[in-house]
A = this chain, B = another copy of it.
Amino acid sequence: MPDARVPVSTVVYDALRADILSGRVRPGDGIPSERTLSERFEVNRHAVREAVKRLQQAGLVQVSHGGATRVLDWRRTGGLELLVDLPPEDVGVARAAYELRACIAADVAARAAARATDEDRASLAARAAAFAAAREHCVATDGPVSPGPALLDAYRELWDVLVDATGNIAYRLAYNSLLHGEDAVTAVAVIYLRDELLDAETTDALVAAVLDSDADAARAAAATLTAHTLTALSPTEAPSR
């Protein structure tokens, strides 16, 4: 099933967004008028309007009444939710995303340790046990080379509890933005999270530190957890740009 009944306005939105994010159309350029687009995509003008409104909300274009709709520089006007929509073949994007995640994870660990309620700790213990079980099952079944999506889900739920335990809505929303793309992102994520998923010792230390309200130890454990992938993704070479 190639299309799966996706609304026409979404087709237009995805096409235009891809053009902008990939750089095929550059900031300052004007996009065709609504009537032109409706002819090109063979859809109603209302569908084009919905798509353009969504582009505007995403900070990708600026529309002016009567004038041309111009493409903005999404690097300056776009929000974090664009990250998962960026071309996934770019390893620089993966490095950038992982660096931000590592940065937030360390803070989340520390604040969760400092602020977790008794309910949070109970949830954390349960999730940690579920993750440990999934990990053992995974290693026994698939071997340590390829952690499956089931293990990733358990790990995700573990961090879900930690993020909630910080009581910080900004961490929660940023965390959401980092893994909103359900399809390709998780496939990529399981690659970059491999070292974390299989480092039983450090994850256990992280959970123990949070349960023990030891913020410094929790931060250190989170840093250790991400250190390997971080150095692997950020070698000595200068950033691409």
Residue positions of A touching B, CB distance < 8 A: 9, 46, 49-50, 53-54, 57-59, 75-83, 86, 92-93, 95-97, 99-100, 103-104, 106-107, 111, 115, 117, 166-174, 176-177, 180, 238-241
**A53-B50, A78-B176, A174-B100 are contacts. A169–B115 as well, Cβ < 8 Å?**
no
Cα separation A19 to B167 with both chains bound (whole Å):
22
With a cutoff of 8 Å between Cβ atoms, the chain B residues found around residue A171 in the complex are 96, 99-100
A81 near B81 (CB under 8 angstroms)? yes
**A50-B49, A169-B92, A240-B167 are contacts. A80–B115 as well, Cβ < 8 Å?**
no
CB-contact partner of A58 in B57, B238, B239, B240, under 8 A: B57
Task: Give A198 Cβ to nearest chain B Cβ, in Å.
Answer: 24
A167 near B80 (CB under 8 angstroms)? no
B170 near A239 (CB under 8 angstroms)? no
Cα separation A241 to B79 with both chains bound (whole Å):
25
CB-contact partner of A80 in B58, B117, B173, under 8 A: B173
10 contacting pairs across A/B (C-beta < 8 A): A50-B53, A75-B172, A75-B173, A79-B173, A80-B170, A81-B177, A96-B171, A97-B170, A99-B171, A117-B238
Interface centre among A81, A95, A167 (most CB of B within 10 A): A81
A176 near B100 (CB under 8 angstroms)? no
B96 near A169 (CB under 8 angstroms)? yes
Cα separation A97 to B170 with both chains bound (whole Å):
6
CB-contact partner of A168 in B54, B78, B99, under 8 A: B99
In the complex, what residue of chain B is closest to A9 when comparing beta carbons? B53
**A54-B54, A115-B238 are contacts. A169–B86 as well, Cβ < 8 Å?**
yes
With a cutoff of 8 Å between Cβ atoms, the chain B residues found around residue A238 in the complex are 115, 117, 167
B93 near A169 (CB under 8 angstroms)? yes
